[in-house]
Chains A and B, each alone.
Chain A
Amino acid sequence: MGLDDGTILDLFFERDEAAIEEAKRKYGKRLFMTARNILRSNEDAEECVNDALLKAWGSIPPNRPQMLGAYLSKITRNRSLNRWEERNAAKRGGGEVTLLLGELEESVPSADSIEKTQNSAETTAAINTYLAKADKTARIMFVLRYFHGESIVGISTRLKMNENKIKSTLFRLRKKLRAHLEKEGITL
């Protein structure tokens, strides 16, 4: 069992490089899985995890995240998606992200005449409200699939549910998310 988050954060604040080792010991596996789900490459995933830990080293302090695991997961996911975009800039397709994008298209409402905006804050707030109202198991499924990029088989193994049940629950979640986003005035 690794150190608790508070102690690891103290190491970051004391500029003790053991902070990176301890964070990796405690969260490395989880971060690696997220990066690997997105990139489908052990080497790239390992690199993204190391990049994420270095970025955390640069941002803590001044930041002192309340949930270190979630903080590191977000950096790793961001790094991995950027790497995925770079890798696929010339050649589209491949990997779990392509599947995730295909699925999420269903959740993005359409409209005839709209103003194109990239308003992340409002969209994130709408997603948070939607998730807060969702059933706990469905919410966990959503996070595993669309945050961590976990495969349907992986979710099925974790939750001990059959794959068809997972697929149908995710399908309903996407439909409801689309309706919720439309209600909030967010559209494709």
Chain B
Amino acid sequence: MIIQISAMHLLNCIENIHDFFLEEAESADYHAIARKRKVRNSTLAAVGAIGVAAIILKVVHTKRTLKSA
């Protein structure tokens, strides 16, 4: 069966979501979430930088190898 709903009905249904989700949003440590995201972004940036450096080294190495050949 297909159920048809409206946006207002959806908004009303959100009222009955699990209490757990409400408490999670209420009691969340927002500072910890922000910190975690900052660490993750820094890690991603570091990994990206290492990747770029590795590619540059590889290109330089390949060029040198070709020159000396």
Contacts and interface: CB of A to CB of B under 8 A. Distances in A.
Contact of B4 (A70, A71, A116): A116
Interface residues of A, number: 53
B8 interface: yes
Nearest to A182: B2
Interface of B: 1-26, 28, 30-31, 33-34, 37
A114 B2 contact: yes
Contacts of A143: 17, 21-22, 24-25
A105 B19 contact: no
Which DSSP category, helix, strand, loop or mixed, fits chain A's interface? helix
Contacts of A128: 17-18, 21
Which DSSP category, helix, strand, loop or mixed, fits chain B's interface? helix
A63 interface: no
B6 A140 contact: no
B37 A161 contact: yes
A67 B22 contact: yes
Interface of A: 30, 65-67, 69-71, 73-74, 77-78, 81, 97, 100-102, 104-105, 107-108, 111, 114-120, 122-124, 127-128, 131-132, 136-137, 139-140, 143-144, 146-148, 158-161, 181, 185-188
